[in-house]
Amino acid sequence: MGRRDLTHVDRYAAAAAPDRSDAVQRLTTYGFPGFKDEDWYYTPTRRLLSEPFVPVVGTPRPPEVELPEGERLVFVDGLFDEGHSSAALAHQRMAVAPGDAGTLLAEPLGFDALNAALWRDGANLQLTGPRAPIHLVHVATGDSRLGVVRHRIHVAAGIEATVVEHHLGRAGEKSGRALTSDVVEITLDEGATLHHILVQEAHAEATVVHTVLVRTGAQASYQGTSVQLGGSLARAELRVELAGEHARTDLAGLALGTGSEHIDHHVLIDHAVPNGTSTQSFRSILDGTARSVFTGKVVVREGAMGTDSDQSNRNLLLSDDAIANTRPQLEIYADDVKCAHGATIGKLDDDALFYLRQRGLSPKQARGLLVEAFAGEVVATITDPSVREAVTARVAHHVLATVEAQR
């Protein structure tokens, strides 16, 4: 079988475009979340929304950023950029809106409703055979542009696949205020495994609201790693429903924030059936007045016996003014389950710094090494060696910039 045959092209006809009035109505009725919304309590949106964002149509701007190597689909401000995308993947898109049939995004509110109302394009990956990692690349070009994309990923029974999502921004003076809404719907058939890596480095003025919705079949495995490298406001929501027995999900996340950046990991794991396993390992590294929020909610439904769930959240504060909020939430309606959680907040170990400096390392070198090591345990969850190496390099770049900026 040729490579093209391994994936199944699924293009939606214009006639199937959904009625968006529901989403629009929900957005206009309920608006965006504010501080009264429990799920957004520590992530204020008022400043973000005080000035309008502009949805864009037509031809995408040139990305003007270094794009990741490999098979990729590129979206600039939410618009498909055919010229920078791999020809072999170009047809695996939802170029025209699909019907809402089978959507995992029911009754959307807030940013989800915005996405449902305005998305125009996205990938539609039907992964039915082994292949190299696929990269979904998003570029925000600034000028208060609003980019909205929706992706669907389906992994067939017994198949193992890797999808990497990148959120990039233009560097330096070309950067600017921008909002990206990215919703990904993922379904895993029995025994399927998806390694899903999110790498967000859109830059300090960008806002990215990324929602990942996953439903697994029996014995399926969703392996999610979210690496959030800055952002005016970066929110990654990972909602995983273990809907088949003996399914598992392992989620890891890194938030690296400096200046006044704000990074929010919001996790919901729904153990709907027995014998599911879930782990969460989230870390943040914060300097300046940066803030991170981690919410890890685990629901164990009635009858979901044999559930095994573990959560850890560790936060490293490099300044006195950085803030880390951590919120473990367990809702358990079944007996015979194991649910553990733990959280720590601390600063760099003075004994370790002294040890490294005694061996000749400068304070910056020593701090860099320790911060990189702290971040490294998240990056280590990436199994594909080339992806891991690339992400390691990006993390190192941001760690170095953070440490260099310290006095």
Partner 1 sequence: MLELIDVHARIGDTPILKGVTLTIPKGEVHAIMGPNASGKSTLSKVITGHPDYVVTSGDIRFEGESILELEVEERAHLGIFMSFQHPVEIPGVATSVFLKAAVNAVRTARGEEELDAAGFLRSAKKNMKVVDLPKTLLHRSLNEGFSGGEKKRNEIFQMAMLEPKLAVLDEPDSGLDVDALRIVAEGVNHLRSPERAVMVITHYQRLLEYLIPDKTHVFVDGRIVKTGGPELAHEVENRGYQWVRDELGAAARVGA
Q: Per CB under 8 A, does 393 bind partner 1?
A: no
Residue placing its CB nearer to partner 1 in the complex, 28 or 365: 365
Out of 9, 373, 393, 401, point to the residue binding partner 1 (CB under 8 A). Answer: 373
Out of 107, 335, 377, 389, point to the residue binding partner 1 (CB under 8 A). Answer: 377
Out of 347, 354, 389, 401, point to the residue binding partner 1 (CB under 8 A). Answer: 354
Out of 34, 158, 303, 363, point to the residue binding partner 1 (CB under 8 A). Answer: 363
> Closest separation between CB of residue 367 and partner 1, Å?
12
Residue placing its CB nearer to partner 1 in the complex, 333 or 354: 354
Residue with tokens 């919001």: 266
169 contacts: CB under 8 Å, gap ≥ 6: 65, 139, 140, 141, 142, 175, 178, 201, 202, 203, 205, 206
H or E segment at 117? helix 110-118
Q: What six digits make up the tokens of 182?
A: 């990215």
Q: Per CB under 8 A, does 341 bind partner 1?
A: no
Pair 138, 10: CB distance under 8 Å? no
> Closest separation between CB of residue 316 and partner 1, Å?
12
- From the list 121-129, 141-149, 299-307, 365-373, the region that binds partner 1 by CB under 8 A is 365-373
Using CB atoms within 10 Å of the CB of residue 24, give its burial: 0 to 12 exposed, 13 to 18 middle, 19+ buried: middle
Out of 141, 266, 372, 403, point to the residue binding partner 1 (CB under 8 A). Answer: 372
CA quadruple 32, 323, 263, 260: dihedral, nearest 10:
90
Q: Per CB under 8 A, does 358 bind partner 1?
A: yes
Out of 30, 35, 333, 355, point to the residue binding partner 1 (CB under 8 A). Answer: 355
Q: Per CB under 8 A, does 370 bind partner 1?
A: yes
Cα–Cα separations (whole angstroms), residue 34 to 41, 43, 252, 293:
7, 8, 27, 15
- From the list 63-71, 88-96, 141-149, 346-354, the region that binds partner 1 by CB under 8 A is 346-354
Q: Per CB under 8 A, does 349 bind partner 1?
A: yes
Pair 34, 46: CB distance under 8 Å? yes
Q: How many residues belong to the site for partner 1 (CB under 8 A)?
A: 21
Q: Which residues in the 63-82 window bind partner 1 by CB under 8 A?
A: none
Q: Per CB under 8 A, does 351 bind partner 1?
A: yes
Q: What six digits make up the tokens of 161?
A: 């696949």
Out of 352, 383, 386, 392, point to the residue binding partner 1 (CB under 8 A). Answer: 352
> Closest separation between CB of residue 237 and partner 1, Å?
27
Classify the C-alpha dihedral 242-99-163-76 as positive or negative. negative
273 contacts: CB under 8 Å, gap ≥ 6: 242, 243, 244, 245, 247, 301, 303, 304
Greatest C-alpha distance within the chain? 70
Residue placing its CB nearer to partner 1 in the complex, 373 or 405: 373
> Closest separation between CB of residue 261 and partner 1, Å?
23
Q: Using CA atoms, how far apart are residues 309 and 246, in angstroms rounded to an integer?
A: 13
**Which residues sit at the interface with partner 1, rule CB under 8 A?**
349, 351-352, 354-363, 365, 369-370, 372-374, 376-377
